[in-house]
């Protein structure tokens, strides 16, 4: 089977003006080495998408949205549709991030609508799943992740494993400085791949990239990326500084 190409994604959340975003991307592209086994994704705020799109000049760098609406157009003040994201050059869109689930109260039904919309209009959704601290301590990690995965992918027809990316982000590790150990990450990633195999078959499950997100930083990236089923990273705070994110992109290769 063909080896999955790793994806290192920067989720800037509500950070960076247009000029700051452009300057960052310009400097990052110059400083990062060339690799044939990984790709880089930048997900800036909506206001900076077009400017960043115009600045991206490397074939291994891609643009993504941090969120989307499930309708193509309509009277939804403040929302952004998948076709709009495609129009400014997006290849990916983050869906179901824990902050959308817990701060903005998006449930699995809403998240599923967004996943289906992304696939329908040709964007790759990065579906985020993960448990809260009390759920992990109660031994419910697999139950929660399985439920979110099943509901998030309901009625989603994956033509191949490149149609969707899964991001495991334990909520207790996001922005807290606490990180799942490489072994904990691998355990959940392996479980996710087995679930995908049961729903879509081994070939597709093998092709789906599963990212880890949760207090990723230069000091832990090498160990995380050595795990067999960790196919990349969804990086928050550590993606906001060029040198920090460059080091994460240039993690030591497996093997």
Q: What are the tens digits of pLDDT across the range 208-227?
A: 999 999 989 999 999 999 99
Q: Residue 116 has what pLDDT?
A: 97
Distance CA 68, CA 103 (A): 16
Q: Residue 255 has what pLDDT?
A: 52
Q: Residue 77 has what pLDDT?
A: 98
Per-chain mean pLDDT for the chain: 95
Q: 226: left (phi > 0), else alpha (psi -120 to 50), else beta? A: alpha
Helices (H), the chain: 18-31, 49-55, 82-87, 98-102, 108-120, 133-137, 141-152, 182-200, 202-207, 221-225, 242-249
Question: In this model, does residue 165 exceed pLDDT 70?
Answer: yes
Token pair of 117 as six digits:
């919309």
Is 1 contained in some domain? no
DSSP string computed for 230-246:
--EEEESGGGSSHHHHH
Angle formed at CA 194 by CA 193 and CA 197, multiple of 5 degrees: 85
Counting residues of the chain whose pLDDT is more than 90, the rounded percentage is 90
Length of the chain: 255
Angle, nearest 10°, between helix axes 108-120 and 141-152?
50
Residues with Cβ within 8 Å of 196's Cβ and at least 6 positions away in sequence, in order, are: 149, 166, 204, 205, 208
SS (H, E, C) 7-63: EEEEECCCCCCHHHHHHHHHHHHHHCCCCCCEEEEEECCHHHHHHHHHHCCCCCEEE
121 marked as binding residue:
no
Is 254 contained in some domain? no
Question: In this model, does residue 1 exceed pLDDT 70?
Answer: no
Token pair of 217 as six digits:
């930083």
Q: Residue 158 has what pLDDT?
A: 85
Q: What are the tens digits of pLDDT across the range 15-49?
A: 999 999 999 999 999 999 999 999 999 999 999 99
Q: What are the tens digits of pLDDT across the range 167-194?
A: 999 998 887 777 789 999 999 999 999 9
* Cβ atoms 233, 191 nearer than 8 A: no
Mean pLDDT of 147-171: 93
236 marked as binding residue:
yes
Q: Residue 175 has what pLDDT?
A: 75
122 marked as binding residue:
no
Provide the annotated active-site residues: 97, 169
Question: In this model, does residue 79 exceed pLDDT 80?
Answer: yes
Is 171 contained in some domain? yes
Token pair 């969120």 is found at: 67
Q: Residue 227 has what pLDDT?
A: 96
6 marked as binding residue:
no
By mean pLDDT, which of 78-82, 103-107, 154-158, 238-242 is the weakest? 154-158
Q: Residue 161 has what pLDDT?
A: 81
Q: How many Cα atoms within 13 Å fall on the side-chain side of residue 92?
A: 28
175 marked as binding residue:
yes
Query: What's the CATH number where 175 sits?
Result: 3.20.20.70
Is 165 contained in some domain? yes
Q: What are the tens digits of pLDDT across the range 87-129?
A: 999 999 999 999 999 999 999 999 999 999 999 999 999 999 9
Instruction: Name the pTM for this structure.
Output: 0.96
Strand partners, 43: 11
Three-state DSSP at 190 gives helix
Burial-class residue 130 by CB neighbours within 10 Å (0-12, 13-18, 19+): buried
Distance CA 115, CA 117 (A): 5
Show the domain range for 17. 6-249
Distance CA 143, CA 148 (A): 9
The number of folded domains in the chain is 1
Is 242 contained in some domain? yes
Is 255 contained in some domain? no
Is 158 contained in some domain? yes
């Amino acid at each position: 089977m063909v080896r999955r190409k790793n994806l290192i994604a920067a989720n800037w959340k509500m950070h960076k003006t247009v000029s700051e975003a452009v300057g960052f991307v310009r400097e990052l592209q110059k400083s990062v080495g060339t690799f044939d086994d990984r790709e880089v994704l930048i997900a800036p705020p909506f206001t900076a998408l077009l400017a960043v799109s115009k600045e991206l000049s490397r074939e291994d760098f891609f643009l993504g949205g941090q969120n989307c609406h499930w309708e193509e157009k309509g009277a939804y003040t403040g929302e952004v549709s998948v076709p709009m994201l495609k129009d400014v050059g997006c290849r990916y869109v983050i869906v179901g991030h824990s902050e959308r689930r817990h701060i903005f109260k998006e449930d699995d039904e809403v998240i599923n609508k967004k996943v289906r919309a992304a696939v329908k209009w040709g964007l790759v959704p990065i579906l985020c799943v993960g448990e809260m601290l009390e759920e992990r301590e109660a031994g419910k990690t697999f139950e929660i992740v399985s439920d979110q995965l099943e509901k998030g992918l309901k009625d989603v027809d994956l033509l191949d494993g490149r149609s969707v990316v899964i991001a495991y982000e334990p909520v207790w590790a996001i922005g807290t400085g606490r990180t799942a150990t490489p072994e904990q990450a691998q355990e959940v990633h392996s479980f996710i791949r087995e679930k995908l195999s049961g729903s879509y078959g081994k070939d597709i499950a093998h092709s789906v990239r599963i990212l880890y997100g949760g207090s990723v930083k230069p000091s832990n990236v090498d160990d995380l990326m050595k795990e067999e089923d960790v196919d990349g990273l969804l990086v928050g705070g550590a993606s906001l500084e060029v040198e920090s994110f460059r080091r994460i992109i240039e993690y030591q290769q497996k093997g």
